[in-house]
Amino acid sequence: MVARFDTVFHSGTVVNHDGVARRDVGIRNGRIAALGTIDPGHAAEAIDCTGLTILPGVIDTQVHFREPGLEHKEDLESGSRAAVMGGVTCVFELPNTDPQTDTAAALNDKLARAHGRMHCDHAFFVGGTAENADQLGALERLPGCAGVKVMIGAANGLVPVEDDPRIAEILRGISRRATFHAEYEPRLAARKGLAEAGRPETHPLWRDETAALQATERLLRLARAAGKRIHILHVSTAEEIALLAEHKDVASVEVTHHHLSLTALAYRRLGTRIQINPPIRDDRHNVALWHGIADGVVDILGSDHAPHTLDEKAEAYPGSPSGMPGVQTLVPIMLDHVHSAHMTIERFVDMTSHGPARLFQIAGKGRIAAGFDADLTVIDRNLSRMITDDWIVSKAGWTPYAGLTVFGWPVGTVVRGRRVMWEGELLAAGTGRPVRFLETLEPAR
C-alpha cells in the first residue's frame, strides 16, 4: 500500500477551531492534510498520542537570542534549542543585539546565521530608530522581517526614540503593525534616584506604573493620528489594561508569563533575578492582567526571553542587568495556570497560536487546519514535573522558577511535520526556516 500520509499523530486530543476533541492529524509534505479518524496504516509513520493533547504550534513573538555580539549569554542555536525543548515551534527575535538589527545588512546577517542552526521557525524584528525612520517602510517588507520594533524608554541595548515627531515619522512610513516597548523616558530619567543601591525591590518604584501609562497614552494618540496599528509589549499595569480596553481598534496587547506568575513579594527571595523592564509589580497589577485575559483585552502571550549570566545578575542593583530567561518555561508555566483554572486551554491556544498569527498576519501557521504548516505542540496535561535549572538549555543555565512543580508539560515539538523535540530529546537539529507573512508574500518564481 502506498502511504497517503508521511505521518499520522493518532488518538490524541486536538485543540483547534472546532474546539477540543479526540482526532487524528494526518501530515503530508510538511503540512496538515487531514483531520478526523485516520487509519495509522495509511501513514509511513504513526505516532501514538493516547493520553496526550495536540495544540497548534506555540508562537513566541518576543525573544532576545543575543546574537550577534552577546553570545556569552545566548545565541541563535542555544536560544532556539531552549524554545523547542519548551514546546515552542516559532519565535520572533528582537533587534537589540550588537550591532543592533536596524539595516537590511544586519537583518540578512541574522537570517544567514540562523540557517542550519536554529531549530524552530523564526523571524527577526528591525529596530526603529531616529536614524532609520525614513527606511523602515522598505525594511519591514524584507523576507524574514517580523516588523518594526521601537523603544520609547531606555532599556538594555536599543537606543530609545523619545520625541513625538520622530515616533510619528516612524508610524507614517510603515504599513505593518509596529511593536513598542512603552515606558516614558523623561519620567524614568527623573526618577532614577529612587532605585536604591542594593535594593532591587525598588525597581518598580523607579520604573513605576505612571511611566508605563504615560508612554502607552502617547503611543495611542500618535497611532490614531497616523491611522496605524500598534502592538504594546509586556503590558504590566492595571492602568494600561483599563486604557487599552478602550482602544482595541488600533492597539494589540501582549503580557508575559513572568508578569502573570510573579509579584513584588518575589524580590525578597529572588532579588535581581526577577529584575526586568517593565518591572514585576504588586498584586493589584497582577490581578488586573488576569482580568485583561478574561475580558479579552490581552491578545497574546510572550516570554520576553532575555537571558543574562548569573554572574551578571549578581552585580549590585541597579548596576545589574534587566531580563531573565523565559522561552523554555512559557508553556509549562502557563499549562500550570490552565490546570489551576486561571484560564482555559482554548484561551491558551488563542494567545499563543491563533492570536500571534492574526496580529502579525503569519502565513500558514497558528491553526491545526488542512493546508497549514504542521506545527504542533504536544503536551501531557496530566504530567507533573519540577522545573529545575538542570532542565534549562539556554546558555544562562537558570530560571526563576527552579524548584516549582507544575502540572502540564510539553512532550513534543513538531515543526512543519518533523518531530524536533520528543520526550525531552532533540531529534532534528537546525531545520528551522524563516517565517512568511501575508502582508509581504513574495511573488511566485
| Type of residue at 133 | A
Residue pair 20/13 in contact (Cβ under 8 Å)? The answer is yes
Using alpha carbons, select from 427, 416, 334, 433 the residue that is nearest to residue 376. Answer: 416
Local structure of 60: helix, strand or coil: strand
C-alpha cell at 83: 524554545
The residue type found at 123 is A
The dihedral of CA 288, 339, 359, 138: what is its sign?
A: positive
Which residue from 125, 128, 111, 126 is spatially nearest to 76, judged by alpha carbons?
Answer: 111
End-to-end CA distance of the chain: 35
- Residues 164, 165, 166, 169, CA torsion sign: positive
C-alpha cell at 172: 507614517
**Catalytic residue chosen out of the listed positions 60, 102, 304, 350:** 304
Q: Which three cell numbers stand for residue 363?
A: 502565513
Dihedral Cα 50, 56, 57, 60, nearest 10 deg = -130
- Yes or no: say if 279 and 335 are a contact pair by the CB < 8 Å rule: no
Does the annotation mark 373 as catalytic? no
Query: C-alpha angle 138/143/148, rounded to 5°?
Result: 50
**Residues marked as catalytic:** 304
